[in-house]
Amino acid sequence: MGYAIAEAVLAEGHDVTLISGPVNLDPPHDAKLISVSTSDEMFEAVHQHTDQCDICVLCAAVADYKPAHVSSTKIKKQSDKFSLELVPTRDILNSLGQRQDRQFVLVGFAAETDHLEENATKKLRAKNCDIIVANDVSDANSGLESDVNEVTILFRNGEKKKISRAQKKIIAYELVKIFSSFATKMFDKKNVTIN
């Protein structure tokens, strides 16, 4: 979905900085690509580049947990049980939402398997986002690892919009229109001109 949104933004004539982990997709040609491998690298890269953007879209979270200890060598198979200690990764969306000096629209995604709008609304408020795009990932034919999706867009003021099941590229173009319209209204209220 992130790559589709990047393509849609580029098609509208805007600049894109695409921060991506390992994927089997070709990045859009005109996007500035920043490749990362770990959740910590993603955290640092996002924070390094957000002050240069008008809209920051975080559409795919890194893992919620990572191993507490990393082995530099292969861990050999044993006949005994093996426990892996996990620790939480740094929450990129939350860290951006809590910034007091934030001058960009913050858009998060909520991949949910149940209580879609309720859980997405909680995330919108808890992470202090301007917009949350909620999608139901319980259906194997939609959302993750699929070329189609359907989403519900929730705004901080309680407004919501739905985009029916469609190709991700089509949804991306609709989302970009929604994000741009929201940003224009937000920046107009702050008397900011976007060139």
Q: Indicate whether 190 pLDDT > 60.
A: no
Distance from C-alpha of 91 to C-alpha of 111, rounded to nearest angstrom: 15
**What single letter denotes the amino acid at residue 35?**
S
**CA angle, 158 as apex, 153 and 164 as ends, to 5°?**
25
Q: Which two tokens stand for residue 73?
A: 């060598």
- 176 lies in a domain? yes
- Residue 190 burial (CB count, 10 A): 7
- 32 lies in a domain? yes
Angle between helices 168-189 and 2-11 (to 10 degrees): 60
Q: Which CATH number characterizes residue 31's domain?
A: 3.40.50.10300
- 78 lies in a domain? no
Q: Indicate whether 46 pLDDT > 80.
A: yes
Residues 6+ apart with CB under 8 A from 78: none
- 75 lies in a domain? no
**CA angle, 4 as apex, 27 and 116 as ends, to 5°?**
135
- Residue 142 burial (CB count, 10 A): 18
Distance from C-alpha of 89 to C-alpha of 102, rounded to nearest angstrom: 22
pTM of the full predicted structure? 0.88
Distance from C-alpha of 103 to C-alpha of 192, rounded to nearest angstrom: 10
- Residue 182 burial (CB count, 10 A): 19
pLDDT band for position 192 (50/70/90)? very low
- 160 lies in a domain? yes
DSSP type of residue 193 = -
Q: In the prediction, which pLDDT does 110 show?
A: 93
Q: In the prediction, which pLDDT does 145 show?
A: 62
Determine the structural domain holding residue 46 and report its residue range: 2-62+85-189
CB 42 within 8 A of CB 56: no
- 67 lies in a domain? no
- Average confidence (pLDDT) over 5-18: 94
- 70 lies in a domain? no
Give the residue among 22, 55, 16 at the shortest CA–CA distance from 37: 22
Tell me the pLDDT of the chain averaged across its residues.
Answer: 89
Q: For residue range 114-162, what is the model confidence (pLDDT) as tens digits? A: 999 999 999 999 999 999 999 988 766 655 667 888 999 999 999 999 9
Report the domain count for the chain: 1
Q: In the prediction, which pLDDT does 20 show?
A: 94
- 80 lies in a domain? no
For residue 129, give Cα distances in angstroms to 77, 85, 98, 155: 44, 31, 9, 8
Give the residue among 30, 36, 34 at the shortest CA–CA distance from 7: 30
**CA angle, 10 as apex, 6 and 14 as ends, to 5°?**
110
